[in-house]
């Protein structure tokens, strides 16, 4: 009989199912997981100098994105290093660092849903979607063209709509589908069991593997809960005094719940011989709330917040730098020590990605500002 403490009998999907059942079965978990926000909840807003482009952004969410994008880079560095070297150390590092970093995409979807403005959507729907095209999908197309290589026009079109140009680009495609679904979600968000139904829907589609891709195009349902959770949180925030309201005491009292789910995830990560992916719902939410609890007053000048402000460009560019740098070191046999190879790849590819992102953002701002001015004349 297998040792139960080792959790060798457990798969990632079963673990997701067990944590979901735990949320629904324990009334206290259910209450704080879905409906624990009260009228004093707040996240401090970024202090701006009259810059209207930034007035609706929050330093904490940039901070959370900054942590998440660095964790994404860590996942891909360990993945590529483990493919290049069959060292047992790489395998263990890849499994553990990959599994504990799987809060990243969840936080990206949460913040994407949260930072959408329902009032802006209802005011001018065409402008709302045009803004997303300008801010997200033109940078995406630019990067797709950079990575075009020898693809013909048909291959370019297919790779663009399927996100196949780079490994992590599926996120951009799933996010586009969620943006299109946004009007429907706004209509049903006030329903009593909106958020629990979103979680159950995502878990169901996560278990139905054949729904993850349709004609090689990634589909959104398994990530629906994260996006809906962000939208739900936005409703809680919009009428509050974000600058002056005190953080309620329940947040500090309930840290143990989030720590419980995080420690459980760490334990399962350390004892399961399986790579996790991005649909660990309770873990992502627990990390998100714990970050709020400890870093609610983070400054917009914090380095992680600044990195988070450029997270889109880092996301679009980092895999190229990680892969190319790792293969360069490996093929040229510059470094033979496994530990040194890993840390050199991690540090250098991270720095290259951040520098390239800041440069790309600076250059694109000129194009973006022009496009925004032109779109303003249309609407």
Please say if the pLDDT value at position 52 is more than 80.
no
Residue 356 within any structural domain of the chain: yes
Residue 8 in this model has a pLDDT that exceeds 80:
no
Q: Identify the pLDDT of residue 334.
A: 84
Residue 50 confidence (pLDDT): 43
The contacts of residue 91 (CB under 8 Å, 6+ apart) are 82
Task: Please spell the DSSP secondary structure of 20-61, one letter per residue.
Answer: HHHHHHSHHHHHHHHH---TT---PBPP-SS-TTTTT-BHHH
How much of the chain, in percent, has pLDDT values that exceed 90?
A: 51
Window from 67-71, 142-146, 188-192, 373-377 with minimum mean pLDDT: 373-377
Report which of residues 231 and 89 the model is more confident about: 231
- The Cα 172–Cα 220 span in angstroms is 10
pLDDT score of 118 more than 90: no
Q: What radius of gyration do the chain's Cα atoms show? A: 21
Examine residue 364 and state whether it is found in any structural domain, yes or no: yes
Q: How many CB atoms lie within 10 A of CB 278?
A: 23
What mean pLDDT comes out for the span 263-268? Answer: 93
Spatial distance between the Cα atoms of 197 and 178, rounded to a whole number of angstroms:
16
CA distance 292 to 43: 8
Q: For residue 55, what pLDDT is reported?
A: 38
Q: Domains in the chain: how many in total?
A: 1
pLDDT at 361 exceeding the cut of 80: yes
**Sign of the Cα pseudo-torsion (83, 84, 88, 93, in order):** negative
* pLDDT greater than 60 at residue 133: yes
Element (H, E) at 141: helix 138-146
User: d(Cα 369, Cα 379) in Å, to the nearest integer?
Assistant: 15
Q: What is the pLDDT of residue 240?
A: 37
Could you tell me if residue 2 is inside a domain? no
- Hey, is 106 helix, strand or coil? helix
What's the Cα-to-Cα distance from 120 to each of 1, 107, 127, 148, 237, rounded to whole Å?
59, 23, 9, 35, 16
Query: Given a cut of 80, is residue 238 above it in pLDDT?
Result: no
Residue 35 confidence (pLDDT): 63
Q: What is the mean pLDDT of the chain?
A: 84
379 pLDDT tier (thresholds 50, 70, 90) = low
Helix (H) or strand (E) holding 218: strand 217-218
Please give the residue that has the higher pLDDT: either 161 or 296: 161
SS3 content of the chain, % helix, strand, coil (to 5): 75, 0, 25
**Separation CA 106–CA 286 (nearest Å):** 11
3 found inside a domain: no
Q: What contacts 71, CB < 8 A, 6 or more positions away?
A: 101, 103, 104
- pLDDT tens readout for residues 68-95: 999 999 999 999 988 888 777 777 888 8
Residue 188 is assigned to a structural domain of this protein: yes
| pLDDT at 46 (0 to 100) | 37
The stretch 202-227 carries a mean pLDDT of 95
**How far, in Å, are 26, 58, 208, 360 from residue 357 at the CA level?**
44, 20, 36, 5
Residue 157 lies in a domain: yes
311-353 pLDDT tens trace: 999 999 999 999 999 999 999 888 778 889 999 999 999 999 9
Q: What is the pLDDT of residue 151?
A: 63
pLDDT at position 377 over 90:
no
In which band, very low, low, confident or very high, does the pLDDT at 10 lie, cut at 50, 70 and 90?
low
Instruction: Tell me what pLDDT residue 372 has.
Output: 82
Give CA–CA dist 308/64, Å, rounded.
7
Q: Using CA atoms, how far apart are residues 68 and 299, in angstroms rounded to an integer?
A: 17
Domain of 273, in residue numbers? 10-378
Would you state the pLDDT for residue 111? 94
User: For residue 6, what pLDDT is reported?
Assistant: 45
* 4 within a domain of the structure (yes/no): no
The phi and psi torsions of 333 (rounded to 5 degrees) equal 50, 45
132 found inside a domain: yes
What's residue 251's pLDDT?
A: 59
State the sign of the Cα–Cα–Cα–Cα dihedral 310, 325, 84, 163.
Answer: positive
Whole-model pTM: value is: 0.89
C-alpha span between 255 and 283 (Å, rounded): 13
Q: How many residues does the chain have?
A: 379
């Amino acid at each position: 009989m297998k040792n139960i403490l080792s959790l060798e009998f457990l798969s990632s999907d079963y673990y997701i199912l067990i944590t979901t059942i735990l949320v629904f079965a324990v009334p206290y978990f259910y209450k704080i997981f879905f409906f624990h926000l009260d009228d004093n909840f707040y996240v401090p807003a970024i202090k701006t100098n009259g810059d209207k482009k930034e007035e609706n952004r929050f330093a904490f969410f940039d901070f959370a994105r900054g942590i998440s994008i660095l964790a994404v880079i860590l996942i891909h560095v360990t993945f590529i290093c483990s493919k290049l070297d069959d060292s047992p150390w790489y395998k263990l590092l890849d499994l553990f660092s990959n599994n504990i970093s799987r809060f990243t995409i969840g936080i990206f979807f949460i913040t994407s849903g949260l930072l959408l403005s329902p009032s802006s959507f209802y005011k001018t729907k065409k402008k709302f979607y045009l803004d997303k095209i300008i801010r997200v999908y033109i940078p995406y197309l630019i990067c797709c063209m950079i990575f075009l290589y020898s693809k013909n026009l048909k291959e370019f079109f297919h790779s663009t709509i399927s996100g196949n140009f780079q490994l992590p680009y599926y996120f951009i495609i799933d996010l586009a589908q969620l943006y299109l679904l946004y009007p429907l979600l706004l209509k049903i968000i006030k329903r009593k069991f909106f958020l629990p139904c979103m979680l159950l829907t995502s878990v169901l589609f996560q278990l139905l593997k054949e729904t993850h891709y349709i004609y090689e195009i990634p589909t959104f349902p398994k990530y629906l809960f994260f996006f809906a959770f962000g939208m739900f949180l936005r409703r809680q925030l919009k009428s509050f005094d974000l600058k002056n309201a005190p953080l309620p005491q329940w947040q500090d009292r309930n840290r143990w719940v989030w720590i419980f789910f995080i420690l459980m995830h760490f334990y399962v990560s350390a004892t399961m011989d399986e790579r996790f992916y991005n649909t660990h719902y309770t873990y992502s939410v627990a990390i998100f709330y714990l970050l709020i609890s400890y870093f609610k007053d983070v400054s917009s000048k914090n380095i992680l917040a600044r990195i988070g402000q450029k997270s889109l460009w880092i996301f679009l560019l980092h895999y190229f730098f990680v892969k190319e740098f790792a293969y360069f070191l490996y093929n040229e046999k510059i470094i033979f020590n496994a530990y040194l190879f890993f840390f050199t790849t991690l540090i250098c590819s991270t720095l290259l990605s951040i520098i390239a992102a800041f440069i790309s953002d600076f250059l694109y701002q000129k194009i973006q500002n022009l496009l925004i001015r032109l779109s303003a004349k249309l609407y």
